[in-house]
A and B are shown apart, each in its own frame.
Chain A
Amino acid sequence: MTDTASKPGQTEVWITGIGLATSLGEGLDANWAALAEKRINVDEKGFAPFIVHPLLPVSFDSQIPKKGDQRQMEAWQRIGVYAAGLALDSAGIKGNKDILSKIDMVVAAGGGERDLNVDTGVLTAEAKGANAPGFLNERLMSDLRPTLFLAQLSNLLAGNIAIVNGLGGTSRTFMGEEVAGADAARIALSRIASGESDIALVGGSHNGERKDLLVLYEFGDFNLKDKFAPVWARKDHAGFALGSAGAFLVLESKTHAEARGAKPYAKLSSVVTDLARRKQSGDMAATLEKLWGELPKRDGKGAIISGASGAEPATSEERDFLKKHADFPVRATGTMFGHTMETQFPLGIALAALSISRGALFPPNDSTGTEIEMQGAPTQIVVVGAGHWRGEGMALVEAVG
């Protein structure tokens, strides 16, 4: 067991693997190409009037070879297991039993989709007068698939990743919408930096093509309706467009990576999170400003990747914060990928690392002037993730060396 008495932050933590499966495609090249071409994949009809960013279909067999495993999962888990597999591939540790048997996992997850036919079947029967005391029980006992529960349980995304890839370290699942993704990265980073862990798989996945989720967010009038617009251009037509995506990262201590000859995309220098009370206007922007101040000193060529969703008032508050740092080119992942909830923050870190490793920030995609062009290679990218309702997170991703 490693001595954990050392001060946090002593060990440099590298991002050595990235796995992406999104509405723009799978893998780093496809996503990078789509970003460069400002391609956006939205479905305005399938869930009309709601707009979603559907997963660009992938062949799950390549990362989840057993059909039996695929059948035990719902879409959100399949997307996540797929992206996690890509991340392990990208880090060059797929099938490496020595490493996989000790890799630590911190997964940010919501829950699985419901069986809509069962739900509407019960409700319509009740509307037609079925009111025996045990009616719901009997219908659930006969109509629910026995294994559906396992496809709904939050920690079974991690469970399935472990089963499909043979992972045997620790496994923790964080819930709590957007900030769960930031806290997952924060805890994994501090565990590696302090020597508690050498290598970790961190990320999340989300299926945005779900009517049960649309109902949940419609309760709060958060869904984008009728017409797509970039995140920053939604002020008078607010809302988020749910997106499907899986984003996973392999985080590794520099020593561990060097020992196996792994190359970093970038280093993850810091992740900070908080819970603004959001009682009055300005609370959230103030918390973002506080987090900005907690990040290590930035003197390199910087940029910001924001997870702003388009929901209000959170997006306006974030814009107020960004205005104070208007010299930093900003990119909103919500415009291109939709709002992927727990996955948005890991996705932001992934895109930051990718931009640094490719020596360029991807182009702006915005009609309001919030996003400006960036010349040259970014060396420091701040990832901002503010929840549509609660939770704020920030990370600093930097070039190595």
Chain B
Amino acid sequence: MTAPRDKLGRPVVVVTGMGITTSLGAGKADNWSKLVAGESGIRTITRFPIDGLKTTMAGTVDFVSVDPFSSTGLSERMAELVTQEALEQAGIGAKGDFPGPLFLAVAPVEVEWPQRRELGRAVGKADFNYDDLLRISGGGKYNAYHHRFMFGSVAAHLAETFGTKGSPISLSTACASGATSIQLGVEAIRRGETDAALCVATDGTVNPEALVRFSLLSALSTQNDPPQAASRPFSKNRDGFVMAEGAGALVLESYEAATARGAKILGVIAGCGELTDSFHRTRSSPDGKPIIGCMNKTLADAGMTPDQIDHINAHGTATPENDKMEFNTTSAVFGDLAQKIPVTSNKSMVGHTISAAGAVEAIFSLLTLEHQRIPPTINYETPDPTILFNVVGNKARDARVTAVMSNSFGFGGQNASLILTREPA
């Protein structure tokens, strides 16, 4: 029996339900078996023409259908699926009546090309300007597009479907969004505002313009052939991340509430930390101080020391800068342990699920704790000699894992880390 409060006197926050969808498949069982088998979900894009693109592969979720298609619609549908899975596992509340708030990490929403093209065709002439588009936008014909492309639309839909309480929060902290959604849930429970929170992160934005945007920032891998080998975290020949889609949902509860209703506890969110980097829009401060500070804050929040962390689920995007920076900052925090603690990057297989990554990887971390088996970092053929992580290369590894640090770093100086543990003895 654990104390219901942590060392700082706050309610202990546990996970009682999880749901996941990635390019590997739907659900925890399918994802986990493929993840530990070292399968890649990265494939050549078939959703739209790839002519003229430098990067032609991604971790798309093609098995979830949405009609009419939009990236926001796909994000919404995936979020719905993973939430259903998480709620079934948690067995909390009643159908359509979740007893707590929703924190949703979601990609920024905007009108997309299929809808813009529909509008362009509706103008009915070959020479036109934006005013012509504006003139035909009203009258109710495109009313559904207003709703679809509101930033709050996905959260409103989930809140209405699952009956979460209060105003659902839609958030973006770029590639750290998934971790932030969990952090907001943890904080709400620790403050005593709620006994439960639903934290969901989703991203279905593999579309031509999103791909071009990252491409123009030279952030994406262009090792298109074979696509499965494109994402190479910690390798010398890594050349960028691979865009991917996916979603993750976690039901968080106070330990007290979870045990009171006899729920199975899947893990503990022992610590959360966040620290802003004001150095540059897309690059980390060269001294790594904000990331170091973020990891240290997370350890302090968990009341733990570096030697208590026995696995790191890295941000590991496979961009040249990120992986190097992650090793350097981890070394600053963990000292020699940075070369001993087993490290892995799920992105080698599922790609970078952007807004969803923090939650997707938190779930993989919790599954690692459950199975006592660390999924591999695939495509680890030519280690970068300057990155001296103990990388779980290519093959899954059985290990005693009691506490995992999961890191997320994003554009706009967003750094967030989580520490996940098993149910404390």
Distance of A45 Cα from B5 Cα, bound (Å) = 61
Among B5, B129, B174, B281, which residue has the most Cβ atoms of chain A within 10 A?
B281
Query: Any chain B CB within 8 A of the CB of A324?
Result: no
Cross-interface CB contact of A175 among B9, B108, B279, cutoff 8 Å = B108
Look across to chain A and name the residue whose beta carbon is closest to the beta carbon of B297: A1
* Contact of B171 with A173 in the complex, beta carbons under 8 Å: yes
User: Shortest beta-carbon distance, B345 to chain A, in Å?
Assistant: 23
Query: Any chain B CB within 8 A of the CB of A119?
Result: yes
User: Shortest beta-carbon distance, A143 to chain B, in Å?
Assistant: 10
Q: Which residues of A contact B10 (CB under 8 A)?
A: 4-5
Query: Any chain A CB within 8 A of the CB of B320?
Result: no
User: Shortest beta-carbon distance, B154 to chain A, in Å?
Assistant: 9
* Contact of A119 with B116 in the complex, beta carbons under 8 Å: yes
Distance of A144 Cα from B209 Cα, bound (Å) = 9
* Contact of A389 with B150 in the complex, beta carbons under 8 Å: yes
Q: Which residues of A contact B399 (CB under 8 A)?
A: none
B 181-200 contacts with A by CB, 8 A: 184, 187, 190-193
Query: Any chain B CB within 8 A of the CB of A43?
Result: no
Query: Any chain A CB within 8 A of the CB of B74?
Result: no
Q: Which residues of B contact A216 (CB under 8 A)?
A: 111, 145-146, 149
Q: Which residues of A contact B111 (CB under 8 A)?
A: 212, 215-216
Q: Which residues of A contact B54 (CB under 8 A)?
A: 141
Query: Any chain B CB within 8 A of the CB of A182?
Result: yes
Query: Any chain B CB within 8 A of the CB of A226?
Result: no
Cross-interface CB contact of B217 among A105, A149, A172, A221, cutoff 8 Å = A149
* Contact of A123 with B167 in the complex, beta carbons under 8 Å: no
User: Shortest beta-carbon distance, A158 to chain B, in Å?
Assistant: 6
* Contact of A171 with B413 in the complex, beta carbons under 8 Å: yes
Look across to chain A and name the residue whose beta carbon is closest to the beta carbon of B190: A4
Cross-interface CB contact of A155 among B130, B143, B172, B191, cutoff 8 Å = B172
Distance of A124 Cα from B340 Cα, bound (Å) = 58
Q: Which residues of A contact B280 (CB under 8 A)?
A: 163
Query: Any chain B CB within 8 A of the CB of A282?
Result: no
Distance of A126 Cα from B128 Cα, bound (Å) = 11
Q: Which residues of A contact B69 (CB under 8 A)?
A: none
* Contact of B414 with A163 in the complex, beta carbons under 8 Å: no
Query: Any chain A CB within 8 A of the CB of B134?
Result: yes
Cross-interface CB contact of A170 among B110, B159, B208, B276, cutoff 8 Å = B276
* Contact of A5 with B8 in the complex, beta carbons under 8 Å: yes
Cross-interface CB contact of B138 among A158, A221, A275, A391, cutoff 8 Å = A221
**Pair count A-B, CB < 8 A:** 269
Query: Any chain B CB within 8 A of the CB of A253?
Result: no
Query: Any chain B CB within 8 A of the CB of A153?
Result: yes
* Contact of A274 with B167 in the complex, beta carbons under 8 Å: yes
Cross-interface CB contact of B173 among A110, A172, A273, cutoff 8 Å = A172
Query: Any chain A CB within 8 A of the CB of B123?
Result: yes
* Contact of B276 with A4 in the complex, beta carbons under 8 Å: no
Distance of A389 Cα from B9 Cα, bound (Å) = 41
* Contact of B275 with A168 in the complex, beta carbons under 8 Å: yes
* Contact of A146 with B216 in the complex, beta carbons under 8 Å: yes
A 215-252 contacts with B by CB, 8 A: 215-223
A 1-22 contacts with B by CB, 8 A: 1, 3-5, 7-8
CB within 8 Å for A171 and B138 given contacts A127-B128, A180-B151, A393-B167 = no
Query: Any chain B CB within 8 A of the CB of A70?
Result: no
Q: Which residues of A contact B50 (CB under 8 A)?
A: 134, 137
Query: Any chain A CB within 8 A of the CB of B384?
Result: no
* Contact of B126 with A127 in the complex, beta carbons under 8 Å: yes
* Contact of B8 with A177 in the complex, beta carbons under 8 Å: no
User: Shortest beta-carbon distance, B281 to chain A, in Å?
Assistant: 5
* Contact of B278 with A167 in the complex, beta carbons under 8 Å: yes
A 348-397 contacts with B by CB, 8 A: 387, 389-393
Q: Which residues of A contact B151 (CB under 8 A)?
A: 110-111, 154, 175-177, 180
Look across to chain A and name the residue whose beta carbon is closest to the beta carbon of B53: A137
* Contact of B146 with A389 in the complex, beta carbons under 8 Å: yes
Query: Any chain B CB within 8 A of the CB of A343?
Result: no
Query: Any chain A CB within 8 A of the CB of B306?
Result: no
Q: Which residues of B contact A89 (CB under 8 A)?
A: none
A interface majority secondary structure: mixed
* Contact of A159 with B412 in the complex, beta carbons under 8 Å: yes
* Contact of B216 with A144 in the complex, beta carbons under 8 Å: yes
Q: Which residues of A contact B129 (CB under 8 A)?
A: 120
Query: Any chain B CB within 8 A of the CB of A162?
Result: yes
* Contact of B411 with A159 in the complex, beta carbons under 8 Å: yes
Query: Any chain B CB within 8 A of the CB of A44?
Result: no
CB within 8 Å for A126 and B120 given contacts A72-B281, A218-B138, A389-B146 = yes
CB within 8 Å for A159 and B125 given contacts A136-B113, A137-B49, A170-B274 = no
Q: Which residues of A contact B109 (CB under 8 A)?
A: 111, 175
User: Shortest beta-carbon distance, A3 to chain B, in Å?
Assistant: 6
* Contact of A219 with B137 in the complex, beta carbons under 8 Å: yes
Q: Which residues of A contact B172 (CB under 8 A)?
A: 109, 153-155, 173, 175
Q: Which residues of A contact B184 (CB under 8 A)?
A: 172, 187
Look across to chain B and name the residue whose beta carbon is closest to the beta carbon of A225: B138
Q: Which residues of B contact A270 (CB under 8 A)?
A: none
B 136-173 contacts with A by CB, 8 A: 137-140, 142-143, 145-147, 149-153, 155-156, 159-160, 166-173
Among A147, A212, A216, which residue has the most Cβ atoms of chain B within 10 A?
A216
Query: Any chain B CB within 8 A of the CB of A63?
Result: no
CB within 8 Å for A127 and B120 given contacts A141-B53, A219-B143 = yes
User: Shortest beta-carbon distance, A96 to chain B, in Å?
Assistant: 14
Query: Contact string, B83-125, partner A, CB cutoff 8 A, digits 1/0?
Result: 0000000000000000000000010111101001101110101
* Contact of A4 with B8 in the complex, beta carbons under 8 Å: yes
Among B53, B131, B133, B301, which residue has the most Cβ atoms of chain A within 10 A?
B133
Query: Any chain A CB within 8 A of the CB of B47?
Result: no
Query: Contact string, A196-222, partner B, CB cutoff 8 A, digits 1/0?
Result: 100000000000000110111111111
* Contact of A173 with B173 in the complex, beta carbons under 8 Å: yes
Query: Any chain B CB within 8 A of the CB of A174?
Result: yes
* Contact of B169 with A1 in the complex, beta carbons under 8 Å: no
Cross-interface CB contact of B152 among A159, A170, A173, A175, cutoff 8 Å = A175
Cross-interface CB contact of A171 among B166, B276, B282, cutoff 8 Å = B276
Query: Contact string, B341-358, partner A, CB cutoff 8 A, digits 1/0?
Result: 000000000000000000
* Contact of A175 with B52 in the complex, beta carbons under 8 Å: no
Look across to chain A and name the residue whose beta carbon is closest to the beta carbon of B124: A127
Look across to chain B and name the residue whose beta carbon is closest to the beta carbon of A158: B412
* Contact of A171 with B274 in the complex, beta carbons under 8 Å: yes
The list of the 6 closest CB pairs from A to B, nearest first, reads A134-B51, A159-B412, A176-B152, A220-B146, A123-B120, A133-B49
15 pairs of residues in contact across A and B, judged by CB atoms under 8 Å: A72-B281, A114-B110, A123-B117, A123-B119, A123-B133, A128-B126, A133-B51, A144-B213, A152-B108, A152-B110, A167-B278, A168-B275, A168-B293, A175-B106, A393-B167
Starting from the known contacts A127-B127, A196-B187, 18 additional A-B residue pairs (CB-CB under 8 Å) come to A1-B301, A4-B10, A123-B116, A132-B51, A135-B52, A137-B50, A140-B208, A156-B281, A158-B276, A158-B412, A170-B274, A170-B275, A173-B173, A175-B109, A176-B155, A215-B134, A216-B145, A223-B138
